[in-house]
Amino acid sequence: MAEENRVTLHGFWASPYSKRVELALKLKGIPYEYVEEDLRNKSQLLLKYNPVHKKVPVLVHNGKPIAESLVVLEYIDETWKNAPKLLPEDPHTRSQVRFWASFLQQQLFESVLKVLKTEGETQEKALKQVSEKLNLLEEGLKSFYSDGNPCIDIEHVGLHDLVLVSFFGGYKVYEELLGIKLLDPEKTPLIYSRLTALADLPLVKETLPPPEKVVALLR
Amino acid sequence: MGEEVKVFRTWSSPFALRVVWALDLKGIKYETIYEDLSNKSPLLLQYNPIHKKVPVLLHNSKPIAESLVILEYIEDTWKHRPLLPQDPHQRANARFWIKFGEDKVFPAVRDSLLKQGKEQEEAHEAALESFKLLEEELKGKKLFGGEEIGMVDIALGWLANLVSVLEEVLVLKFIDEHKFPLLSAWMRLFADIPVIKQSWPPRDKLVTKYIAIREARLATN
């Protein structure tokens, strides 16, 4: 690859933040080099490219680094304008996608992590929080998709979809391994149908990490 | 019928001020609705059912919540007087620092207000560390946006208003002129811009407000 247009992603196999960037690159058909970082022994390049946070993912394009997964996703969408468009054209729908991506990131993931890491009463409390947040999300998605739930295919994946599937794609395995219920298709049918459709896309299946390995890492 | 723009805010919310600044900088006319957060209006609850907070922007009857989401909406909708650079990499850099302000600077300053003892010390330290990084980012620039206010300045602008208030309330120094010369100069410059200056909530009311918040929080501990 020529230096110009060269794309490198510094990532970590278990990081949902890293995975969502990988998904975006693959979905848009952008060729890239992948550098797997050992988070206990970060590369000099990573520390140079993300001196503020020293974290993955970092995307390097034309020698210039971009950090923070949601910022990277917006950058990818602005630079490679082919489908899928991660953000729609209409400003109001764009704002809704950003709102839900932010909600998923800030509100929901914290609670899910707690569920995956803890047990007993702490886990129960966290599960309750997850359930409450999912109900809120379901309500919100109902109005967001009030024109009908668009079908999921590789041409139509949004920013919020990438956040959702990178956090939750492995939910079924988490449920099996931990003997818990994370997602109820009857209580949150929209989320359930959207998530399962996303997780079933071959490109997503081959990109997301094996959920049992993620659980093993966390516990 | 012109475009209908409404802003739901409180007299003091620093997040709502971001929206006011963006609209004022772009010269967009809007109606202001002041909320009493102890007695939220049915409209606010309808427009922001998820968080039930201000600010909310209403444009052509459609609501948008979350101040940073609103800023991007304003930028997408009214394309004159841009608040973000054109170049995608510079845009990404701006968004990076906006996120930094939200994830690192704000929580550290907030916790310095709400905590005490060791926890407060740690929060204060974290705030100072975050200011060091902002100081670095300002090298060679007057404003985070360069020659003119940009979205990063707007997102961080609460510092220019609240740091001195909190320094008074907490008797704690945050942004020392000598340690953070660039950041201090930025705060002065930002605060003096007419659109910003006219928007500052009354200082004495702010001091009273934050003293009350701290006392209430410490009393519940």
The pLDDT tens digits of the residues spanning A7-57 come to 999 999 999 999 999 999 999 999 999 999 999 999 999 999 999 999 999
Per-chain mean pLDDT for chain A: 91
* B132, closest residue in chain A (CA to CA): A52
Task: Specify the higher pLDDT residue, A149 or B202.
Answer: B202
Contact list, B69 vs chain A (CB under 8 Å): 95, 98-99, 102
Sheet holding A64-67, edge to edge: A33-36, A7-11, A58-61, A64-67
**Chain B closest CA to A176's CA: distance in Å?**
30
Nearest Cα to B93, choosing from B104, B102, B84, B103?
A: B84
Which stretches of A12-133 are assigned E, i.e. beta strand? 33-36, 58-61, 64-67
User: For residue A4, which amino acid is it?
Assistant: E
pLDDT score at B109: 98
Contact list, B70 vs chain A (CB under 8 Å): 95
| Nearest-5° Cα angle at A143, B95 to B103 | 25
Residue B54 reports pLDDT greater than 80: yes
CA separation for the pair A195, A192 (Å, rounded): 5
* A94, closest residue in chain B (CA to CA): B73
Q: What average pLDDT does this structure show over B94-102?
A: 98
Q: How far apart are the first and last CA of chain A?
A: 40
Choose the mutation target among A21, A71, A107 for the interface with B, i.e. most B CBs under 10 Å: A71
Q: How confident is the model at residue B104 (pLDDT cuts 50, 70, 90)?
A: very high
Cβ–Cβ gap B72/A52 under 8 Å: no
**Chain B closest CA to A11's CA: distance in Å?**
18
pLDDT score at B1: 41
Give the rounded percent of residues in chain B with a pLDDT score beyond 70: 99
pLDDT score at B140: 96
Q: B84 CB near a chain A CB, below 8 Å?
A: no
Give the rounded percent of residues in chain B with a pLDDT score beyond 90: 95
Query: How many Cβ contacts (< 8 angstroms) between chains A and B?
Result: 62
pLDDT score at A151: 74
Give the C-alpha distances (Å, rounded to integers) separating B195 from B18, B22, B53, B168.
11, 10, 24, 25
Q: What average pLDDT does this structure show over B120-131?
A: 98
Its sign, for the CA torsion B179, A64, A15, A85, is positive
What are the CB-based long-range contacts (under 8 Å, 24+) for A138-145?
A138/A187, A138/A188, A138/A189, A138/A190, A138/A191, A139/B49, A140/A100, A140/A103, A140/B50, A141/A100, A141/A190, A141/A191, A141/A194, A142/A190, A144/A96, A144/A100, A145/A190
Q: How confident is the model at residue A2 (pLDDT cuts 50, 70, 90)?
A: low
DSSP 8-state code for residue B31: E
**Chain B closest CA to A66's CA: distance in Å?**
7
**Chain A closest CA to B49's CA: distance in Å?**
9
pLDDT score at B2: 52
Token digits of residue A127: 């599960």
Contact list, A65 vs chain B (CB under 8 Å): none
Q: What average pLDDT does this structure show over B112-122?
A: 96
The pLDDT tens digits of the residues spanning A123-171 come to 999 999 999 999 999 988 888 887 776 777 888 899 999 999 999 898 8
Cβ–Cβ gap B64/A95 under 8 Å: yes
Give the rounded percent of residues in chain A with a pLDDT score beyond 90: 71
Token digits of residue B31: 């109606």
Tell me if residue B192 falls in helix, strand or coil: helix
Q: A74 CB near a chain B CB, below 8 Å?
A: yes
Per-chain mean pLDDT for chain B: 96
pLDDT score at A135: 92
Token digits of residue A185: 């298709």
Q: B99 CB near a chain A CB, below 8 Å?
A: yes
pLDDT score at B206: 97
Q: B138 CB near a chain A CB, below 8 Å?
A: no
Task: Specify the higher pLDDT residue, A3 or B39.
Answer: B39
pLDDT score at A203: 93
Among A167-181, B12-26, B76-90, B191-205, the least confident range: A167-181
Residue A1 reports pLDDT greater than 70: no
pLDDT score at A218: 82
pLDDT score at B58: 97
**CA of residue B83 relative to chain centroid, distance:** 15
CA separation for the pair A53, B141 (Å, rounded): 22
Q: How confident is the model at residue B141 (pLDDT cuts 50, 70, 90)?
A: very high
pLDDT score at B151: 98
Token digits of residue A68: 């923070």
Q: B97 CB near a chain A CB, below 8 Å?
A: no
Cβ–Cβ gap B133/A139 under 8 Å: no
Q: How confident is the model at residue B3 (pLDDT cuts 50, 70, 90)?
A: confident
Token digits of residue B35: 């909320």
Tell me if residue B64 falls in helix, strand or coil: strand
